[in-house]
Structure 1
Amino acid sequence: MAAFGVVPGSLPVFDGKDYDDWIVKMEAILGFQELEEAVKIGFQDSTKLETEEQKKKSEKQSKENKKIDCKVRMLLHQCVSAAIFQKISKAESAKHIWDILEQTYGNTESVCDYFGKIQAIANSMRGCDEQLPDSKVVEKILRTLTPAFDHIVVAIEESKDLDEMTVEEL
């Protein structure tokens, strides 16, 4: 196994932006350290073993796994901003931290998929006799886009009449 103390001098710090870039850098660091298993698969405790020899071997492996997991958690804690740290600080394992970050920032849903989901919900509401003008749906979409789209939302709001815009035009 690689020496755990050998980490690049400048660690990438994730601040909520450019998750895709940060994840590539972290996977490289974890791969170099031979620690990627802790975040990709996690470690399982096998407590129901039959023989004493199996129990000893399992305890030794479990202790090593806990040590690796702790080192990965420490590394991940160092590689996030204070605001992001608050979201992951209570995670019990490196895999849990990784999963939280993936679920929160790694959403790869396309804009078209997102629009489609919003349209389906809006159509369902209309099917229940809800008065829902396109302008309200457009506003909802613009309000709920991720921060990566902030500059686009501002440009649309400044250049278009949202009261007259349809979802298709958006």
Structure 2
Amino acid sequence: MEGFKEEASISRPPLLDDSNYAYWKAKMTAFLRSIDSKTSKSVKAGWTAPTVTNNNVVTVKPVEEWTREEDEVVLANDKALNAIFNVVDINVFKLINTCTVAKTAWETLETAYEGTQKVRMSRLQQLTTRFETLRMEDDETIVSYNNNIKDITNESFSLGEVMSNEKLVRKVLRTHPNKFAHKVTAIEEAQDLTTMRLDEFMENLTTFEMSLDDGESSNKKGIALKATAEATNDENLVETMNLLAKNCNKILKRFTTQLPMTKGPICGGNL
């Protein structure tokens, strides 16, 4: 089951478990649309079995009497329900295994993971607080900060509230570290922030961040080379001093051995 979740693709949405509903909902919505428009609409519109009225008595219409249009509607419902059933784990499936209508299954999951309208509003307020207090740390990368913003915006979207692109860009403008100040100012002067996409803005900052890292790396290399050169100079100086000391010792030794040896008193004569 775990492998199935990790290998989700364009033909197979991720597996819904107890921790990834917001991610799953966005993926599943796109997947249902990719099947066809009727399948996607069935999750919103729902489906009820066709009926007939005889003598003011309403009864379910026999399947063999369904029209082509009625067949297409129920097929869309069945496609959507089958898709939902096949992308939930066994614990989640217990919540919807008795559902025969895709809309009912979808809304059951929404209530289970998003709560009632009151709970949803409370969660949106919490997300708003998280968004407003979010700041980029001095040692944090642009990629990491962008992921934090996306987590909040995706969860907000799953709860029915879309954060505008302009709001997200201005959030980054207010909360970036000082090292990005010059780049941000340049972007503000050159771009229209009301139309600039967040991913484009972040890409510019990421490129600038890479140049900063390259500069720091070059400085570190320069410092290391300087230290190496200084150490080498010190070693050369020591080696030169040692060589001079050896030469001095040789000269003194040679001079000492060549002095004439005297016999008797140094001062001659009798008293």
Q: Normalised by the size of structure 1, how large is the TM-score?
A: 0.52
1:37 alignment partner AA: K
Superposition deviation, residue 49 in structure 1: 7.3
Identity %: 24
Tell me how many residue pairs correspond in the alignment: 104
Matched with 2:32 is: 30
Q: How does 1:95-110 map to 2 (within 5 A)?
A: 95-107=103-115, 108-110=120-122
Q: Distance in 2 between matches of 1:111 and 1:43?
A: 30
1:21 alignment partner AA: Y
1:72 alignment partner AA: A
Matched with 2:74 is: 66
Matched with 2:93 is: 85
1:14 alignment partner AA: L
Q: How does 1:7-46 map to 2 (within 5 A)?
A: 8-34=10-36, 35-46=39-50
Superposition deviation, residue 47 in structure 1: 2.7
Q: 1:112 to 1:86 in 2, by over 3 A?
A: closer
Q: Distance in 2 between matches of 1:33 and 1:67?
A: 12
Q: Which moved more, 1:39-48 or 1:74-83?
A: 39-48
Q: 1:111 to 1:27 in 2, by over 3 A?
A: closer
Superposition deviation, residue 99 in structure 1: 1.0
Give the structure with higher Rg (CA). Answer: 2
Q: Normalised by the size of structure 2, how large is the TM-score?
A: 0.34
Q: Is contact 2:13–2:24 with CA below 8 Å preserved after alignment?
A: no
Q: 1:58 to 1:11 in 2, by over 3 A?
A: same
Residues 111-162 of structure 1: per-residue CA shift (max 9 Å, x gap): 5979xxxxxxxxxxxxxxxxxxxxxxxxxxxxxxxxxxxxxxxxxxxxxxxx
Q: Distance in 1 between matches of 2:68 and 2:85?
A: 26
Q: RMSD of the alignment, in Å?
A: 2.9
Q: 1:42 to 1:101 in 2, by over 3 A?
A: same
Structure 1 residues without counterparts, runs of 5 or longer: 1-6, 115-170
Residues 48-100 of structure 1: per-residue CA shift (max 9 Å, x gap): 579xxxx9996222222122211111110111011001110000211110010
Identify which of structures 1 and 2 has the higher relative contact order when contacts are C-alpha pairs closer than 8 Å and 6+ apart.
1
Post-superposition, which runs of at least 4 consecutive aligned residues in structure 1 deviate over 6 A? Answer: 55-58
Q: 1:111 to 1:70 in 2, by over 3 A?
A: closer
